[in-house]
Amino acid sequence: MPELVEEKTVFTLSEVSNSIEKTLKARYASAYWIKAEMNKLNHYSHSGHCFPELVEKEGDKVVAQMRSHMWRNEFLAINHQFLKVLREPLKDGIKILFLAKITYTAMYGLSLHILDIDPSYTLGDLEREKQDSIRRLREEGIYNANKQIPIPLLPQRIAIISVETSKGYADFLQVIDNNDWGYSFFHMLFPSLLQGDAAVTSIVKQLNRIRKVLHHFDVVAIIRGGGGDIGLSCYNHYDLARAIATFPLPVITGIGHATNETVAEMISHTNAITPTKIGQELLQKFHDFSVPVNDAREEILYQGRQIIEDEKLAFRHLAERFRTQSRWSVQQAVSGIRELSGKLLVQTRLHVREEHSKLELKKQTVRQGVKYFIRSQLEIVGGTKTHLKEILPGLLNYENQEVDKLEHHVKLMHPENVLKRGYSITRLHGKSVRSSDEVKKGDELEIEVYRGKIWAKAVKNEKNEKN
């Protein structure tokens, strides 16, 4: 009860609070559906209770603000429903349509006791955010910008945005680092948060870091795994989508879910359902390159072996023909040489006989001349026998010596005797060589000696300057 103090009615704080509580209970006995933005969830894990901070905004201006609470069991039920419908948990910054009672206590003041939240309303709001991001990207003409960047033939250097402890990151490395074909990759981790509102800022920050070392990488891979479809709304955020769309390297995504493709996945160069699938697609690019190369290599080796075998066979045939023709040519050459030698020998003998006949004729002429000379001398000297006896032997002996010398000289000049003394006859193409000018380096020469013939190849010729 109030008390009177100096003619003033004075209430205690608890009396005022109790009055407000009674009034509100009487006036707001029912539960109401209310829409607001959950500015902050304020979930306490040790107790399981939540104390969401609710606001209403007009643009960026807050026009209403109120505290609320959900007890542990209520939070678990509502959060489970959100995960089932939205694939998103209750979190900061989402708009909600919730069923609540207005409560008031002397200790905590006015609050909204949240009994239920309609996930379909939040889903619609998230979808509106997603469609708004897509619209803005299209209006700016950058929706397909990253897809138009040519990806290298062999994307071997990979900048990875992920969490070091992520299962998806481990799966990705297992695929590319332990492939059965020995393909080699260089990769570097740029650690980042991968879900929740903070993920947007974290991923964009790592993209900006990679921009500074672009020349070290071929592609960027954003890898998230193990979380299923939970916590994907950050990948619909315009700021993240724009950072990916305008990135100067191809961005490949493996966020790890099978439904409800996010904006980040839509505008990335290449999207795969899982990190494992990303790794497999990178390996496939190496397959697409290496298989035709290996096939071409095998074909080249096969064709090369065929050509070699064909050339070997042709060479054997050619060698056999060469041996056959060589034997025939040698036989022909030997036969020709023998025939030529026979002709030369016959001609030489005929020449010797002619010379011998001339010699005999000369001898007769000399004898006749000597006789004539003797007779003339006898007539001159008076024909004395004594003088004849003195002169005649000397003259006959002298003439016989001259004839013998001539005959011996003819015999020495015979070809057989010339060859016997160590001389030789050199022929080129069947003709005798008289000067070094007739012979060129590499010419094959036939050299006839006293007993046999020698075939040689000219390695050098030197001209004798003497006349």
For 218-274, write each residue's pLDDT tens digit.
Answer: 999 999 875 555 568 889 999 999 999 999 999 999 987 666 789 999 999 999 888
Q: Which two tokens stand for residue 464?
A: 């004798």
Least confident of 247-256, 274-283, 292-301: 292-301
- The pLDDT value given to residue 464: 63
Which domain, by its residues, includes 436? 416-467
Which parts of 87-158 fold into alpha helices (H)? Answer: 119-139
Mean pLDDT over residues 398-409, rounded? 69
User: Same domain, yes or no, for 182 and 119?
Assistant: no
In the chain, the number of structural domains is: 4
User: Same domain, yes or no, for 307 and 245?
Assistant: no
* Per-residue confidence band for 426, with pLDDT thresholds at 50, 70 and 90: confident
End-to-end, the C-alpha distance of the chain in Å comes to: 162
Separation CA 356–CA 84 (nearest Å): 138
Separation CA 282–CA 275 (nearest Å): 11
Mean pLDDT over residues 409-417, rounded? 68
Mean pLDDT over residues 273-297, rounded? 86
* Per-residue confidence band for 384, with pLDDT thresholds at 50, 70 and 90: very low
User: CB–CB of 246/240 below 8 Å?
Assistant: no
- The pLDDT value given to residue 204: 97
Helix/strand/coil percentages in the chain, nearest 5: 50, 20, 30
User: Same domain, yes or no, for 397 and 432?
Assistant: no
> Which of the listed residues 413, 436, 456 is the one where a domain comes to its end?
413
Q: 204: Cβ–Cβ under 8 A, 6 or more apart, which residues?
A: 239, 240, 243
- The pLDDT value given to residue 393: 64
- The pLDDT value given to residue 312: 86
For 6-21, write each residue's pLDDT tens digit.
Answer: 778 888 888 888 888 8
Minimal CA–CA distance to 443: which of 458, 455, 433, 430?
Answer: 458
pLDDT surpasses 50 at 406 = yes
Sort strands 61-69 and 53-58 into parallel, antiparallel or unpaired: antiparallel
Separation CA 41–CA 56 (nearest Å): 15
* Per-residue confidence band for 148, with pLDDT thresholds at 50, 70 and 90: very high
Mean pLDDT over residues 79-94, rounded? 85
Separation CA 427–CA 446 (nearest Å): 5
User: Same domain, yes or no, for 106 and 149?
Assistant: no
Quote the DSSP letter at residue 50: B
User: Same domain, yes or no, for 118 and 94?
Assistant: yes
User: CB–CB of 256/166 below 8 Å?
Assistant: no
User: Same domain, yes or no, for 71 and 148?
Assistant: no
- The pLDDT value given to residue 248: 97
* Per-residue confidence band for 358, with pLDDT thresholds at 50, 70 and 90: confident
User: Same domain, yes or no, for 361 and 376?
Assistant: yes
pLDDT surpasses 80 at 108 = yes
**Is there a domain that residue 283 lies in?**
no
Angle between helices 275-381 and 167-177 (to 10 degrees): 20
**Is there a domain that residue 408 lies in?**
yes
CATH number for the domain spanning 86: value is 2.40.50.140
Average pLDDT, the chain: 84
User: Same domain, yes or no, for 95 and 24?
Assistant: yes
**Is there a domain that residue 190 lies in?**
yes
User: Same domain, yes or no, for 321 and 252?
Assistant: no
- The pLDDT value given to residue 314: 84
Minimal CA–CA distance to 97: which of 48, 175, 32, 145?
Answer: 32
Q: Kindly state the percentage of the chain with pLDDT values over 90.
A: 38
Higher pLDDT residue, 188 or 396? 188
User: Same domain, yes or no, for 153 and 258?
Assistant: yes
Mean pLDDT over residues 54-63, rounded? 86
pLDDT surpasses 80 at 297 = no
Q: Is 266 helix (H, G, I), strand (E, B) or coil?
A: helix
**Is there a domain that residue 284 lies in?**
no
> Which of the listed residues 273, 306, 328 is the one where a domain comes to its end?
273
**Is there a domain that residue 288 lies in?**
no
**Is there a domain that residue 440 lies in?**
yes
User: Same domain, yes or no, for 424 and 310?
Assistant: no
**Is there a domain that residue 279 lies in?**
no
* Per-residue confidence band for 388, with pLDDT thresholds at 50, 70 and 90: very low
**Is there a domain that residue 290 lies in?**
no
- The pLDDT value given to residue 162: 95
> Which of the listed residues 258, 273, 288 is the one where a domain comes to its end?
273
User: Same domain, yes or no, for 151 and 70?
Assistant: no
- The pLDDT value given to residue 467: 41
CATH number for the domain spanning 171: value is 3.40.50
